[in-house]
Chains A and B, each alone.
Chain A
Amino acid sequence: MKNIFKITLLVLLFSISGTINAQTTKPAKKAAEKLDRSVMPGPAPAPVINVGKYEQFSLPNGLQVFVVENHKIPRVTYSLVLDIIPMPEEQLTGVSDLTGQLMRTGTTSLTKDELDEEVDFIGASLGTSATGVYGSSLKKHNEKLLQLMSDVLLNPAFRAEELEKIRTQTLSGLKAQQNEPEAISNRISKLLIYGAEHPYGETMTEATVNNITAGDCKAYYDKFFKPNIGYLAIVGDITLEEARTLITKYFSGWEKGDIAKYAPRLPMAPEATQVAIVDRPDAVQTTLKVAYPVQLQPGDADVIQARVMNTILGGGTFRLFNNLREDKAYTYGAYSSLNTDKLVARFMATTAVRNSVTDSSVVEIFNEMNRIRDEEVPMDELQLVKNYMSGNFALSLENPSTVASFAISTARYDLPADYYVNYLKNLAAVTASDVQSAAKKYILPENAYIIAVGKASEIAPRLKQFNKTKAIRYYDYEGKEYDPDKKVKPAPEGLTAADVNKAYIAALGGEKALSKVKDVTILATTSMQGMTIGFDTYRKSPDKFMVKISSGEMVFQQMGYDGTTAKIVSPMGGESKTLDGKELEDMKIEAAMFPELNFEQLGVNQKLEGIEEIKGNETYRVLLTYPSGTQSTRFYDVKTGLLIRETGDQGIAEFSDYREENGIKFPYIISQQAGPQNMDLKVLVVKVNTKLKDELFQLK
């Protein structure tokens, strides 16, 4: 079966492309003539656009093979794609991806190490994915590559120990994504556009990745890796006959099989525009998307019209880019895309903007979406975009794999055999009214999701106006929805902050035990850049306090309070000062042995704000306000009563590993965070009532 098409097109477009400036178009002059730079040169006669030829054959097992000869470089590349309609993976989400990776880790006759050595030794590349295999090498190593490729495709080993390595890598990758705004945005966008039950809406999580076994991967492979849904493109320094011989030799043993049919429910655009936020409190930019599902299949009658329309809107440096970047300077880039897909397609506008213009950016995106629906595109703008698109088409033909991809799309989507040959002609025929019809059909500003990944406290109030349903929806980075107002749940009826404080005192050892304490010495260490730092704290009843930071004999800093004067000294240089004002006032409270015993007398106001979950534990959240106005928030574990976190202007401190000394519990690990610095203090020893002298607290 030979299906050759070699079509040569004289494309009128290339002469039309000067239309806008037709009045200035003139042929190239000779160098000797005086140059008038104000004259923009026109094009020379249009070149011949040759879409290129491919040849095709198939194996008895159904594998369809497309060959594009190109002898410029002595290299051959093979890419096999399987026409798999994805199925929901549910609790095993990620199994297709992991299978794709696992196939590259060894065959029944080669371990991963052996396979890697063989591939690298010939300077080749060989990759596998959920939907195919890719290989490339120099012509002289061609047969060796095919032998490896066919082994990987037909005899994958699915070794459990290799899956474990991939799992570790995948989990690390998921973790890394938690801080990539674009990755988070893509996750949540998929979830909203397609829905959690649709295969396109699923994303793997730590839990689903942990569920997957080597057996699951083999099952996925057995279900989908069949030659009768395979399209193999061969591009490069090879002839049809060479290809036929080699492919017959290496791929005939691949057995065909039935593929289960599956048709997921069709996702619909939302009935009214919905705002969704993923909170990143540190973000300096908002990653913004406006998106929704649409019905647009490859080969649909209006695909080219729809593509022209999207290009005008934002498929390059056009309306969105011109508006948001060049006119308003809100962003480094703003684009839109409209894909085609057999199951379900989607529209998406995307940009990243500084927090303060998040709302203005949405306004401008909607303005552009409405404009392309409501107004016919001006002729010169339409012509510009058509010229740009036909130019891109022509430029893409430089790469021989473009022709191979045309051939595969033609076969895979049942396109007319001359679809790509006629592409430029059909593109040229698109009118302004076609564009507007496509916009009315595919651009839906009233039925969109607005997905914003950024600093919620700043952007949520700005985005509220766009939300036309009940409320803004909040998601965590994994796509779990939560109610931001319910982050803090109400405390049980009747419970007060004083009760929580009392429970804390009881948990520490009780009022009686605490009041017996005359002095305390806590020796702790932390490590900073490889150095061990000592962090020693001394307290003496009722209100003396000293802390010393040192390494060996070197004392970096000391802070002391003798009941009246508070001083900071820095023997190694740095700031030394005597505290006054608010700082001194607060010191009086902080220096108290157990201020909790006397909050009322000290004038500390406590307010129970509710129950909040911290690291999986429920805590009572209590706001403390000192007489000076200084505030801090404390979190007491509901179960144990102990203080586990305190946050304030100075940063965050977390307390854990409580151990008993003299009948009183002390936290042995204190993790402090101030600004970007983390410091974990590990307590070595706690000594109680060792008769500390008053002089210790008077710093010179």
Chain B
Amino acid sequence: MSSPKKIITLAGFLLAFLWAGAQNRIEFTEFDLDNGMHVILHQDNSTPIVAVTISYHVGSKNEDPERTGFAHFFEHLMFEGSEYIGRGQFDQIAMNAGAQLNANTSFDRTFYYLLLPSNQLELGLWMESERLVHLRIDSLGVETQRAVVKEERSQSYDNRPYGSIMEKTFGTAFTTHPYRWMPIGSAESINQATIDEFREFHSTYYVPNNATLSIAGDINLEQTKALVEKYFSTIPRGTKELYRPSIVEPVQRAEVRDTVYDNIQLPAVIEAFHIPAMGTPDYYALSMLTTLLSDGESSRMTKSIVDKQQKALFVSAFPMALEDPGLFMIFGIANAGIEPIDLEQAINAEIVRTQNEELTDLEFKKLQNKMETDFVTANSTMAGIAENLSDYYMYFGDANLINTEIDRYMKVTKADIKRVAKEYLTKENRVVLHYLPKQSM
């Protein structure tokens, strides 16, 4: 039993960057259990609900290249049941308590959440601790989820127009680093894996010292601490080595281009540039550069390419927020009758503009206003706050970035934006893909 939308979120993750809270500070307390589990609590008693979330610092980049898709497969297995929760009961128990639940897997981590009426906090902690310490991994569950994941792949990648874009882009841009495969992985890997391999993966990565428990909502701090101790403190620390790849993707020295024929009607153009990991100063400048290019009707590419030149149905630039150096991506779908090369040239013209001209003061102010709005309005739900606190801690060791990360954006200058455009958005550093319609009779 698992829930409807175990979608591998990449996009959700990008958004994690635009929060903090100068005007609306998010208060929280945090501590470590003796077994190494990190715990973050945020109290807000305005609505009687609580979000119980747990993040495991394992994503597709921790996988064996021969066993891709493992981290995501666990996202499914984790709903199969445990020693004291029968097969199919995990969802039933949650629903019976009036709770909602789901999970997602990225390149870097796996995230589970339960959103419960606040009087069911203890139930949520019991459920999460049960599947951490007692997950049931048997052939029935594995076989079922193998078939389900295959259909997930068909529905989300193969049978969906442009569904293969991320896979193709990352597969082309990365030659060495494990970002070269997607979290969904390959069906063969999952088919070939044995039950023992799945058990081994769980006992390696699903351990308290690799987890962050983040709780937000209608709670009492002291009571909640006691309950967390009760359910999690007796779980032993993991003993196996946590594989954290130190693989460095070699510097790309020449442009890589490819053409992909897909079941689509309108051609698409993808440009991807290698950029530093999230959290670095240049990352913030690049992130603002994507906002300048495509966030809002008056943004550069939207105004020029979509509205004025009518070359694209839409164009979007976005940074892939990743723990290791990632990609600055631009994705555009051409209007009917427009050749991909025309669209590519229009995109490149806008890139060149950012490299040669500094922003006007007015445009820069607009950009900062946008960043401010995004940051002020972002932490509006308990589930979102819990997830953000957890991500900030897991990636940067500083949950308080939920309040202060905006300062890093505000430090970026007009000159920085021009500089990063020049430094990273170069021809040598990019991958260009043209998606073309496969013609049928």
Contact = CB atoms under 8 A, between A and B. Distances in A.
Interface of A: 13-14, 17-18, 20-21, 28-31, 33, 35, 37-38, 40-49, 72-75, 112-113, 115-117, 119-124, 137-138, 165, 168-169, 171-173, 175-181, 281-285, 316-317, 321-322, 325-326, 329-333, 335, 352-354, 383-385, 387-388, 390-392, 394-395, 397-399, 529-530, 647, 652, 673, 676-678
Contact of A332 (B91, B152, B306, B438): B152
Contacts of A284: 154, 158-159
B119 A392 contact: no
Contact of A326 (B88, B230, B263): B88
Contacts of B306: 169
A165 B148 CA distance: 42
Nearest to B80: A326
Nearest to A528: B259
28 contacts: A14-B117, A21-B96, A28-B227, A31-B229, A37-B129, A40-B93, A40-B126, A43-B117, A47-B118, A74-B24, A120-B296, A121-B298, A123-B370, A124-B373, A137-B373, A173-B313, A175-B336, A281-B441, A282-B440, A285-B158, A330-B147, A352-B151, A391-B98, A391-B100, A394-B49, A395-B49, A398-B47, A529-B259
A325 B148 contact: yes
Nearest to B362: A121
Interface in B87-135: 88, 91-93, 95-100, 115-123, 125-126, 129-130, 133-134
Given A37-B130, A391-B116, 16 more contacts: A28-B122, A44-B120, A47-B117, A115-B297, A116-B296, A117-B366, A121-B369, A124-B373, A168-B310, A284-B154, A317-B2, A317-B4, A317-B95, A326-B88, A329-B143, A354-B151
A120 B297 contact: yes
B31 interface: no
A123 B406 CA distance: 15
Contact of B123 (A43, A45, A121): A43
Contacts of A352: 151, 154-155, 159
Q: Is the interface of A mostly helix, strand, loop or mixed?
A: mixed
A-B pairs with lowest CB-CB distance, top 8: A391-B98, A123-B373, A47-B48, A329-B147, A116-B298, A676-B261, A388-B95, A116-B297
Interface string B312-347: 010000000000000000000111100000000000
A228 B84 CA distance: 59
B159 A285 contact: yes
B98 A176 contact: no
Which of A33, A120, A175, A385 has the most B CB atoms < 10 Å from its CB? A120
A122 B298 CA distance: 12
Contacts, number: 262
Nearest to A331: B151
Nearest to B373: A123
A364 to B, nearest CB: 15
Interface string B149-162: 00110111011110
A678 B261 contact: yes
Contact of B95 (A35, A387, A647): A387
Interface of B: 1-4, 23-24, 46-49, 83-84, 88, 91-93, 95-100, 115-123, 125-126, 129-130, 133-134, 143-144, 146-148, 151-152, 154-156, 158-161, 218, 223, 226-227, 229-231, 233-234, 257, 259, 261, 263-266, 296-299, 303, 306-307, 310, 313, 333-336, 362, 365-366, 369-370, 372-374, 376-377, 379-382, 436-441
A617 to B, nearest CB: 14
Which of A122, A281, A391 has the most B CB atoms < 10 Å from its CB? A391
A639 B50 CA distance: 73
B52 to A, nearest CB: 13
A29 B146 CA distance: 39
Nearest to B147: A329
Contacts of B436: 678
B97 A387 contact: yes
A24 to B, nearest CB: 10
A257 B439 CA distance: 51
B84 A387 contact: no
Contacts of B336: 168, 171-172, 175
B260 to A, nearest CB: 9
Contacts of B441: 281, 647, 652
A387 B98 CA distance: 5
A30 B226 contact: yes
Contacts of B380: 72-73, 399
Contact of A72 (B24, B93, B264): B24
Nearest to B369: A123
A562 B399 CA distance: 77
A172 B335 contact: yes
A169 B335 contact: yes
Contacts of A384: 92, 95-96
B122 A44 contact: yes
B31 to A, nearest CB: 14
